Structure 1
Amino acid sequence: MTGPRSMFAQLALVIGLVLAGACVLVVALGREMAVRPAADQLARAMRGFAGIAEELDRTSSHEATLRYLRDAGLDVRQRPPPAATLRWAPFLRGLHSRSQELLGPDHRVVLAHEPTGDRMWMQLHTQPQVWVAFSAGPLRVGRRLSIAVLVGCALLTWLAAAYFAQRLVAPLRTLANAAPGLVRGETPPTLEVGGTREVRELAQALTQASREARAAAEERAVMLAGISHDLRTPLTRVQFAAELLPDTDPELRAGISRDIGEIDAILSQFIAYARDGRDEAAEPLDLAEVCRSVLDAAPGHWDIQCPETAPLRGRPIAVRRAVENLVVNAARHGAAPFSLRLVEACGAWQVTVCDHGMGMTPEQAERALQPFVHDPAAGGSGLGLAIVDRVARQHDGSLALLPNTPHGLRAVLRLRGA
């Protein structure tokens, strides 16, 4: 059994349960502390009234007794009323029981439900005997009023508690919305969370952690860019030297050139991963044109299916690098035939790159999205898919590596916009 997941719902449920328990307790205590004493007091008053009326009947005429009873606002009848079999309120049951105890077996007390309202009839020992009625209407009205007041107080208390619970939850919801960007080290927004002191301290701690993560990322970018620049200079000299060496084996020279190109590509991936594209401004672009442009420069034959235009607001260089990395990954690790499909689904653009190679298991697909995880036999830096995954998250999207029936890999890149 699962309960409410949000903090506000949990607080509202706890408050509601506490108020419900309090109402039950008030009703139970009220019955013990108010209903029984009140019923006992009224029963004693009825016994005293019966004694006065019977004494008056003995000392004066019966007509004077009847006139006295009617002047007191009581209904009088000669025959006993029919007893009702309804479920009476606790107060009336207590009053009936206590009256019967105090008046004794010589006086009968009957509860009756009549069109004019609920009444309690009491038998008087007069000559002849008469029955007088005491209306229970005011008692029922008072009971209903008490219940209405109790329910109203509980409702007002719950509304007040829900208001303060909402004030407590709103800053936490603001922090929850800002937390993913803060954890990724993005430029922290100005968080006006308000709330309690602990919530403000949490907001300050998250903001400070985001600034530190951002500073570490910038330091890493500068370091990798410097290393890459320093390595490219001797690589260029080696490449020129290999070209100028006389009597060099052509195959050896071609192998050196390939290795230098591979090292240069790895250094480019390092720089791209370090700079991560956060500083690039978002602008309108045509995703269909990006896909076609990437495939024009890709080796081998590609089957492409995409609309004429695919408008998207995003970071052009980052989006192009993501599509390019998917195409290069399929060509390097997969096998022909290759295909790229661009469609719009659920308010997002979906780029699907398929190959018919060996594919990946779910565990391999999960590891492939981590930085520096790659197949040494196939080469590469292990950053291509990690860069694609990060670009997808920057554009409120996702990257999924799925099996391609009957065999191969199907990389699905979803982009909504930066």
Structure 2
Amino acid sequence: MNRAIPWWRLILRLSLWSGLLLGSWMLCLLLLQALFGRQLERLQTVQLGRELALSIRLTELTLERYPPILINELTGLQLAVIIRPPRPTRTRGERDSRITGLQRELCARLSHCPLLVPARRSGTSDQVWIELISPLEPVWLRAELPTVRAWPPEPTLLMVGLAGAVIITGVVYLLVEVERPLRGLERALSRVGEGSDPPAVPARGAPEVQRITSRFNAMVVRLAANRRERATMLAGIAHDLRAPITRLQFRLSMPSLDASEKERCSRDLDALERITDQFLLYAEGGENEALVTCPLDQWLAEVVAGYSPDQLELNLEPVNAPVRPVALGRAVSNLINNAFTYGTPPIVVRLRKDGVQLRIEVWDQGKGMSADQWDRALQPFQRLDEARGEQGHCGLGLAIVNHVVERHGGTLQFQQADGSVGPSPGRFCAALCIPLDSSGRGMFKKSKHQ
């Protein structure tokens, strides 16, 4: 059963992965800025050189007819009539390299190579003066230099950096939340394959991996329980068959057998057959039988048809439900036989619907078992009366019933009649409680007692 993760742990994990994503994004942006910043600057310089070359050609043609002031008003270009523009007191090598690159572009696109002079910085952008060819007076064009923004980076770099951060975070997530827990699960699975019982694997990592781990732990617990039951069953077989076999060997070794000895041998053979049948019933448990929807009142009447009407009474309500009829019939027969053997007739078999479940109750008039023996009675090979082993009983009767009802998704309950819930048809009851909406496939629940 999966335990809910505390809210603070969910918030902590979300914060850690969000921080990893943000840190990866920043790292990718720094790397992209360092790798492709110069390339973007060169592309911007080429684009600016193409635009300025066209503007310079048109402006030089216009200066042959119109004064620079009018051209400023009409085009918005920053033209200045000066002999030599003032240079800034200090220039940066970075700006000088951009001016040199822009000059190369202009020289390649124009018929002449214009002179470029750094201009004083205006706001946050670097600017440059470009000398124009004018027939009357010296004219200079002021233009902005391309710059690669340090922050915020270019939109292209932002998107590429985000994609890289998502990939990095996804890889780390797969390594930490999926691969590492699966590696631990693989080691535990290899130990199961070697025949050992590994400790429970902690449910860590992604929710899907946690669900797989929880189901693996449940499987390991079930396998360990099956191994214990198998060992107990083998020990029980050896113990329960030893006594009748020894008696049979002794009697058969006698030179002559009278009628009483033959009767004893026959009883021992019956005991052996009964013990073998109980082992087979417990080992099978109805797991391979398909569910069949049938009227349970008619089916139950057929199951108890072999018992004497004077010793067994029926109290049945009409109920239709999907059951495994053969396995469930054996379970009901086991309860009835136990009631006849260890209880007091008459036996009352009652079928009724109780909310969302149906109840098949077997009542007898005996004192039954005390409440502190109920859990022990459901365990295989547990005899509440040690003398029963001499009569072909191996302690599997109620274990078989519990095994079958668990396969139906239900529980086996015991009840002592105390008059608190109205009149009862007997003093002690063993009841099969099966959900009406259960498929009965792979559902295991602990037994409940009223």
TM band (smaller chain): 0.3 to 0.5
Give the structure with higher Rg (CA).
2
TM-score between both structures, scaled by the size of structure 1: 0.45
* Bigger RCO (CA 8 Å, 6+ sep): 2
Output the TM-score relative to the length of structure 2. 0.42
Normalized per residue, the structure richer in helix is 1
